[in-house]
Structures are given as C-alpha cells and as structure tokens.
Amino acid sequence: MSTVSNLEKKIDNLSAIIAIVGLGYVGLPLMLRYNEIGYKVIGFDIDNTKVTQLNNGESYIEHISSERIHSALQHNFKATTDFSYITECDVIILCVPTPLNKYREPDISFIVNTMEKIQPFLRKGQLLSLESTTYPGTTEEELLPRIEEKGFKVGKDIFLVYSPEREDPGNPNFETRTIPKVIGGCTEACLKIGQSIYGQAIDKVVPVSSMKAAEMTKLLENIHRAVNIGLVNEMKIVADKMDIDIFEVIQAAATKPFGFTPYYPGPGLGGHCIPIDPFYLTWKAREYGVNTRFIELSGEINRAMPEYVLNKLIDGLNKQGKALKDSRILLLGIAYKKNVDDMRESPAVELMEIIQQKGAIVSYSDPHVPKFPHMREHHFDLTSEDLTAESIDSFDALVLTTDHDKFDYPLIKIHAKLLIDTRGIYREPAKNIVKA
C-alpha cells in the first residue's frame, strides 16, 4: 500500500494519531474537536504549567470548560512537553504564535523553533500542517527545507499543507466545526491528504491552488478588518470634532441593505491577528519592491488610538481641575474584546502603561480576568477591582476600554466622577462622560 493510501486509510478509520503543537486559543479547541470525533490526540506545548493543568483536567481558557478537558483525558488525549512523541503521530498540526518583534517585523521564531524540535522525530507517512498566521512563502521557505533535510520527498514520503486558523474566541455563533477551512498543499497529494484530515472535523473545506495562496487568504481576511477599523477610527476623530455621534452614524449607515458592513471604533486594535497580520504582508511586500501605503496608513491610525484616549482622559481631568499625575485611574475591561479572557495585543494594556508612565495610579476591573496574567512584554502586579458604589467613587476617572456585558453600566454612570467611554455605551450626553 502506498504512503498516501495508508495515511488516508488511517484518517478514514479514525486510527490516525494527531499531534496538536501549541495549546492556546487555536490549538486547544482543535484538539477537543478531533478528540470528540474519536481520534487519539497528543497535545504538545513548551509551557509546562499548561501541560500540567491539562493533564489534571483543568482549562486555562475561560470559554473552554474543565469538564471538556476532563472528558478528553478519558478519551485518548494527553498533553506533553516531550517532542519525541511526534514519532507516534500521523498528523502534526502547528498552532504556534507569530508575533511582531520590537521593530514591528515578523517574528517567526516560534515556527522555526518548533520545527527544529519536531524535525528529529519526523518519519515517513506523516502529514504536517501549519496553521499560524504568517507571510506568504513561510511554509515553503521554513518548513519544506527542514523536511527535505531529513531525506524525505514531500508529496511522497511526507505531506505538507498550510491551513490558516479561523478562531473567534467567545463567539457563540461559530465553533471550530462550523467555520470553513481554507487549505493549500505543497503538491496535489499533499492537498488531498490535507482535505481528508480537515474534512473529518470541519463542515466545509475550501482548497486553494497553493500554500502561498492560503497564507495570503488569511492575511487578506484580517487586513480587511484592520483597514476598515482604521477607517472608522479616523471617522470617529472627525465626527468628534464636528460634535457628531459616530455610533449613531454607523447605526444609520448599517440600515443600507447592500454595499456597507458596519465596523466599530475603539481604543485601538486587539487580538493576535488584526493588529499584527498587516505588518506580515507589508514586510514581505518590500522584498518584491512594493510599498503597501494603504495598509500601513491604517496601521498608523489604529496604533495611535491609545494616545487619543489618553488625551481625552487628560482633557477630562483638566476640566475638573485635576492633573493626570497622582490621579487614581480605573480601566474597565482589559481583555481585547468583550466577554472573553483573551489578553493578546489588548489596547487596554498599552493604555495602562502610558497612563502609568504619566504618573497616574492605575487599576483595572475585568470580570473575565481576575488577575493580570503573565505576558511576554507586559506586567502589572494587579488583581481585578470589584465594582461597588464606593469603589467607583474612589477613583478620579474610569476608562471604559472593553464593553463586557457583565458590567453594571447604570451603577458605573451614577458613581463615576469622570468616565471616558471608548466603546459608545453611553449615548446620551452627561456631565461626567467623555466620548473617546
């Protein structure tokens, strides 16, 4: 039996063993999906704390219950930091971070380091899929040579695909199974095997002509959002100068049944994808002599929003005869979007830092983030403040950065001395509310 046929047979009869490398917001839901349909799944992560929690049946992501982790452990799942177990696996799916470095250039070190960890344990008959968002050409330039260094023929001995993740943490309308999956293969045989494994878990698989096309697809999806959010953030500034409520304008424009999609302004861009992905393309485009001015401009606008909010805060305090220095400031919500505990690239964290740098005393309240988590580039030794009439009144100003449903907005409005609203929650004018 050929290598292709043997792997297809294992996939079809659910005997294939699946490796999920990187057990975060992308890898953990994918692990659960494959586990729940009957595959044995081995989860790999370099974070020993995560591995220990999972093997104890504990979840560290709010919208994934510990009950689901415990159930997975009863049905052929285990987590490990030992990459030698890669040899046992038939399918290897990489879900590792792809951040920016301090120069806002792509940092693919997690992909490269992960490949170097698994390379010694690659064998014939495996499928390797990269899901991390990255610039077009990464899979071909970084993964393919490391496979070939082992003497394997891609498309014959080992199969290589790129299939970008499409997770939206906390969105009740979609789950891993129902979000269509784009996939590109290194060869036709690679694409066929890739469609086979993803077709088991995902309702709709969308093949494209190449791995580069799949990589570009993911960037287009997120650049589309980044550019439109940049547009509406700029419109917010113009509308504010004209004393126009931008949220009213968006709401009215959204009644048009064609040709308009509503996007909403905020204190900046958050999440692992939208603030980062445009820079992956602009960086790669320079290699081809292309200057992506439109994309870079939207990035500049979005990155400037925390400073815009800071100036609104300073102006609001000045009108009350107070300086920002030594003022007690409470940020409402530090997750990057409402109703989740996801802190990746949250603009609220940047805002906390610049407010603190100006000499203010910073605190936060977030019902989804009880303690400020360990982050690669940011650290605050803080826990979430309980919101009571007395605690709200004790702060010189509150800044609403993430509009969680769990907040008691009437209570906040009544007792806040000054409230900077970056999310358009308070539409009616009030003396203590500043729209930002």
Task: Locate all alpha helices (DSSP H) within 290-360, ordered by sequence.
Answer: 293-303, 305-319, 347-357
Q: How many residues does the chain have?
A: 436
The C-alpha atoms of residue 321 and residue 114 are separated, in whole angstroms, by 54
DSSP code for 178 = G
Q: Look at the block and give the residue holding tokens 């077709």.
A: 199
- Residue of 95, 186, 190, 273 marked catalytic: 273
Let me know if 305 is exposed, middle or buried by CB neighbors in 10 A (0-12, 13-18, 19+). Answer: buried
How far is it, in rounded angstroms, from Cα 282 to Cα 136? 11
What is the rounded CA–CA span in Å between residue 157 and residue 152? Answer: 6
Strands of 159-162's sheet in order across = 77-80, 40-44, 17-21, 91-94, 127-130, 159-162, 181-185, 205-207
- Is 95 among the catalytic positions? no
Parallel, antiparallel or unpaired: strands 91-94 and 17-21: parallel
Strand 159-162 with 181-185, pairing: antiparallel
The catalytic residues are 273
